[in-house]
Chains A and B, each alone.
Chain A
């Protein structure tokens, strides 16, 4: 038997570790939670790691999963061993090719981190909806329930597909398995070779297309033969289960780990049996062992091969004593007669009963669990077995939720616990930016290295990209850990950010008598008094041992401000005693050198210094006998919040969303707008502060603020009579309003301290000082005052839109943002554009938002930033998919056009009832300027008033579409992954549609949301995931492509470089009666810059001509003038001055200096040539551009 390397890795890595070694080609595309598999494959190929055949697999990123499937299909037909990795909608996009690959009996494996599908809402988390949606394609489906299984069965899938010619989907639960770190034994190459003899590879190659032995595959077939031809494959499918078992047996011979197509565990005479697939099987099996030990007679059948369905094996596995079989599906099929695994089991068992294999037919019921990574715990399993014991066990049940609508949910006792006492459990609450998760990954790897110890870790992340919290769940002990669910009682609880103890149920997870480690920014003697009363009571009641350290100060003194992870990791080891102290410190340092070594000696040195300094600052806190604090945590939302926010949103915000019943949920995914304003996150102590004396009221800071926390109003001085004493105000410096006052209000609780406003401020009131007229300041001691000021500011009416000059940045600051306080990254480069969109057109705006960063910070529950104004109007927002956003938005526009036309028709038809003059005015009035729109709104209101009391179908119809008489503004919004890659075809089609729709591409030049993968917007010479050796192909010039149509308004903007041009382009685009596209430079964390310098970097992008500002306006051509406006000055700096300010470019310089030099030269050449082209275009005659040939009404 081969000896094995023991490692602690996650399910994605475990899978790709095998898949990579067995493949010649990986066609990849990023999608959560499978992206890591593609990233690792790409990384290894870049590092020239070979497969077992001695070659380096080709790893190619495609433009979509559909593209990846096409490339996979082609490579297979070409005889290569191909694979791909995907999830969710990605797998759905592969379906057409999957039918082809299977229909042609082609050996292939698709590895899937199984994930929910976007239905009423998108979810990145795990269940089986995606794999169940491909069960009919002809692919075999093989399921892994743990990290070790994912590793082993990946091999079985590759081995079986070559033997059976049936292609395989190998899947495991997204996040729960794909992201769980667990200790596993690695298969070495010899084992892989033993299961994949080269002869099978050669046979696969011989089936490929070759001009040396030509044939035709992929014919079109007619009614005479298609049917028969479809039936030819039956023997192959019939053989498959047996062959898969043979492969499993071969694996067992090699490594001793035995697997079966279906596997029974439990009492041989069990009366109640659960059938389950995936990681849930681990939980059920462990619970079964526990229940049987206490005298029950229960069992579980774990299904590993789901297609072809192993009927005989399932029937054979079922104890004949079984009276009730409960089949658990991790999917939902609305309207069906049961979920797929249940129906398969019913068919299998009833078939067996019918043919006599099964002498008696047990009662079979089905239920659902675990959708979207909903916890599936031993307590829930026990609840299921209890339900199966009922005289009439329910079917179609759910477990793990409270379904008070359909009554489907089973009861269970959440306190039921089966965990092994020898397994130590620890939970850590941290902030995303403090490195807690990274340190815990290292901790678990350190602990997992001991051959006598097993370790597991799983991490729960916040849905916000800035200031979010993380919860790390760690287990370790002497036995293998089969617990794919969160820790619910921990002997050690680390709270790595003091504020979290008030926000989350940190202490609820602590075991009585356990340890609490607090990162407390105060002297040890003050810690107890700083706790809230509730926290103190819990500590006393649970008799917790409390330790505290001011980790922030220790880290800061070590030169690592904000990075408290290694300090707290050291404390954990010291307190828990899991390793001898010196050994632990040496191991931590070793892991620091390993993790941070490639980031430089100084990083290592400072982290080591933090470790060395940690323990002398660690203090045991004496716990009094009773609570003394008078402080209560502040309520999650204010009392004046709407009922839905208080009862539903607040529960999600407080981490109690799991307890919400079905009845609390909207039925169709519709949620109220503008809920971020109720979530006062207070994520930064440093907050912008206005200096009214120095301020020139230019509006730049408000314009660039990514979080809409800087607002301006002007108002009559008398309004200040009721102002709080600390409310600040200055005389308005605009002409014509001498008595008016001006206030720039910072919403301190919502400010993230990103500093873009400071960068944007042009004023240094004290010459020579670095202070601006807006500065970051610590507001810890003045927060209450600032909150009061915001409250007062909100009582001042918004300035009338018609009185504000929209055409200037200065004027735009007075427009109410209807996109506010999003959870985007601090200093995000995208959100200022969305805020501007909402300010300019918000009250008549419809947004079609491509999946990506903007759909996450724009639409991820619990709270969403698209808001409404005092009149109740505001952006209507929806996200369809990633790939179809342009088409989706076009659909919205067409619906709007249709209903506008309908309204106009009905209006014309009712001239007499309404009045001809008003009707004519409504039908012909211009609606470009704000004053015109306001007038139109007034006319429509008047029309509706006149329509009051008028009955009849015509009037009803008119009323239902009357709001379309005020011109709507439909914007198709998304990032470059959508616009340049997956949605490119649709985008191109919309550009060519001639429809009056607006497109905003927020170009971060990578797939930001999934972690910085290269797109066709990624510039040459930049390093990105999937382009780790530097992008060698130039960025697509989307602007020129759009210009080529002649009928599209095109602009390229960068708000940090020229806000005025941005503003102008947005307004022109919107006013243009045709298709318009605005391509917006969006600095991003994936660029590797200090986000507070984002504007400076935008200026460099423009000044180096990497991002030339331009506008193309077909209307200008119609007037006989050149429609191409080059808005930036000639380049003033070389490209290198721009790009080497960013880590993504410097990485290449550091890793491959010659290549970096070569690509820089190419990139400079590309920039120069494009500039020359633009300059030439800007000097052409109008006639040299294509005319706008659209038919004019």
Chain B
């Protein structure tokens, strides 16, 4: 079976990617993922704001004691920390790039436009094959409108694209009023890939201690529907590559995403659950299915079950509305926009 594919213009040996997770926190971890056959690795995200806050805290805890007592004008050696708190991430990125022969994609969560472009450039210099921008944020500010958020996304893509020569993908939240329009705007802004979708780690409440805890849960296959739907709809309607993520547990889940039209399928949960070597299992299951279905290449079946681009858009909306909708409902579940 030929599992080769391409994503963001990068030729990949397989359509399965390891998405950002703690597994990529060490070069050895990345090597294990590569050994298991993934096509590329997306490193865990660099959160610019976190770095900035940490820098400030470090400054506070060290600077406030400096030059205040005769016997000790400082309490730490003058260690070359690199330029800032991003250095460890970038060094790690360099190490990972050197450790494996598959593309290593850096993931970035910026906090300012300068930060986005600056960090992206540094990731490119450190050897990132592509940058996945990840504007992960829960817009808790009630004064920010949806259009403001959308404009911000476009601005980020434009800024990062202008800053780097390597491809740029954006990992999106599923919570847009008009996800399709958002994707198209980003596509027009030049994004090379769309990653559907981000999952938000939402805090939980302990009813005994009455405390709020950060909750981490791994995704389950039944969560894949939403991403699959949007992949199916966007397939052929945007220039950007499509990466599907969320809810991969078996080779079948990978196949489903590819059938819906994904260029690549990403998983973190399955690998966290079963270990990095599980990528080989997923790929073997995919290959076995392809063999059974007699698909020699991934391209042979990719997008077979996408919402056809041949469908007239207005017809899709009006004349062919009912049939298409019914078909779509049957295929993808009952949550497409109703009229």
* A and B are interacting partners: yes
In contact, A1012 and B75 (Cβ under 8 angstroms): yes
CB contacts (< 8 Å) of A825 on chain B: these are 65
CB neighbors of A among B267-321 (8 A) = none
A1088 nearest in chain B by CB position: B61
In contact, B51 and A598 (Cβ under 8 angstroms): no
In contact, A46 and B77 (Cβ under 8 angstroms): yes
Say if the beta carbon of A610 comes within 8 Å of chain B: no
Query: What CA separation (Å) do A768 and B206 show in the bound complex?
Result: 11
Given contacts A599-B55, A603-B55, A1088-B58, contact A433 B65 (CB under 8 A): yes
In contact, A461 and B70 (Cβ under 8 angstroms): yes
Say if the beta carbon of B69 comes within 8 Å of chain A: yes
CB neighbors of A among B55-84 (8 A) = 55-84
Say if the beta carbon of B13 comes within 8 Å of chain A: no
CB contacts (< 8 Å) of B74 on chain A: these are 1011-1012
In contact, B91 and A1153 (Cβ under 8 angstroms): yes
CB neighbors of A among B71-115 (8 A) = 71-85, 87-88, 91-92, 95
Given contacts A602-B52, A1143-B62, contact A767 B210 (CB under 8 A): yes
Name the distance in Å between A47's Cβ and chain B's nearest Cβ.
Answer: 7
CB contacts (< 8 Å) of B53 on chain A: these are 602
Say if the beta carbon of A334 comes within 8 Å of chain B: no
Query: What CA separation (Å) do A364 and B91 show in the bound complex?
Result: 69
Query: What CA separation (Å) do A1009 and B71 show in the bound complex?
Result: 7
CB contacts (< 8 Å) of A941 on chain B: these are none
Say if the beta carbon of A986 comes within 8 Å of chain B: no
In contact, A435 and B63 (Cβ under 8 angstroms): yes
B55 nearest in chain A by CB position: A600
CB contacts (< 8 Å) of A1149 on chain B: these are 88
- State which size class the interface on A falls in: 35 or more
Query: What CA separation (Å) do A1143 and B57 show in the bound complex?
Result: 9
| Mask of A1079-1093 contacts with B, CB within 8 angstroms, 1/0 | 000000110111000
Say if the beta carbon of A601 comes within 8 Å of chain B: yes
In contact, A1154 and B95 (Cβ under 8 angstroms): yes
Interface size on B, residues (CB 8 A): 43
Contact pick for B76, options A36, A462, A1025, A1090, CB 8 Å: A1025
Query: What CA separation (Å) do A1147 and B62 show in the bound complex?
Result: 11
In contact, A1086 and B70 (Cβ under 8 angstroms): no
Say if the beta carbon of B222 comes within 8 Å of chain A: no
In contact, A433 and B64 (Cβ under 8 angstroms): yes
Most buried by B among A437, A599, A856, A1086: A599
CB contacts (< 8 Å) of A1028 on chain B: these are 77-79
In contact, A1023 and B76 (Cβ under 8 angstroms): yes
In contact, A1143 and B70 (Cβ under 8 angstroms): no
Most buried by A among B56, B59, B61, B77: B77
In contact, B63 and A563 (Cβ under 8 angstroms): yes
| Mask of A1132-1146 contacts with B, CB within 8 angstroms, 1/0 | 000000000001101
Most buried by B among A35, A1008, A1025: A1025
In contact, B79 and A1011 (Cβ under 8 angstroms): no
In contact, A32 and B70 (Cβ under 8 angstroms): yes
Query: What CA separation (Å) do A1104 and B295 show in the bound complex?
Result: 53
Say if the beta carbon of B147 comes within 8 Å of chain A: no
Name the distance in Å between B257's Cβ and chain A's nearest Cβ.
Answer: 35
Say if the beta carbon of B146 comes within 8 Å of chain A: no
Name the distance in Å between A635's Cβ and chain B's nearest Cβ.
Answer: 26
Contact pick for B92, options A463, A1147, A1153, CB 8 Å: A1153
Contact pick for A600, options B51, B65, B68, B77, CB 8 Å: B51
Query: What CA separation (Å) do A109 and B91 show in the bound complex?
Result: 42
Query: What CA separation (Å) do A33 and B92 show in the bound complex?
Result: 40
Say if the beta carbon of A514 comes within 8 Å of chain B: no
Say if the beta carbon of A245 comes within 8 Å of chain B: no
Say if the beta carbon of A216 comes within 8 Å of chain B: no
CB contacts (< 8 Å) of B60 on chain A: these are 1090
Query: What CA separation (Å) do A1012 and B65 show in the bound complex?
Result: 12
Say if the beta carbon of A866 comes within 8 Å of chain B: no
A125 nearest in chain B by CB position: B70
Name the distance in Å between A40's Cβ and chain B's nearest Cβ.
Answer: 9
Most buried by A among B56, B70, B80, B88: B70
In contact, A1147 and B79 (Cβ under 8 angstroms): yes
Question: Which 10 interchain pairs have the tightest Cβ spacing?
Answer: A432-B68, A600-B55, A1011-B72, A437-B67, A1028-B77, A602-B52, A1012-B75, A461-B70, A600-B84, A1086-B75
Question: Residues of A at under 8 Å CB distance from B?
Answer: 32-33, 35-36, 39, 42-43, 46-47, 124, 175, 431-433, 435-438, 441, 459, 461-463, 465, 468, 470, 559, 562-563, 596-603, 606, 767-768, 825, 856, 1008-1012, 1023-1028, 1085-1086, 1088-1090, 1143-1144, 1146-1151, 1153-1154, 1157
Question: Residues of B at under 8 Å CB distance from A?
Answer: 26, 51-85, 87-88, 91-92, 95, 118, 210
28 pairs, A vs B, C-beta closer than 8 Å: A46-B77, A124-B71, A431-B68, A437-B66, A461-B70, A462-B68, A597-B83, A598-B81, A599-B58, A599-B59, A599-B63, A600-B59, A606-B56, A1008-B72, A1008-B75, A1009-B71, A1011-B72, A1011-B73, A1011-B74, A1012-B74, A1028-B77, A1028-B79, A1088-B62, A1147-B79, A1150-B81, A1150-B82, A1151-B80, A1153-B91
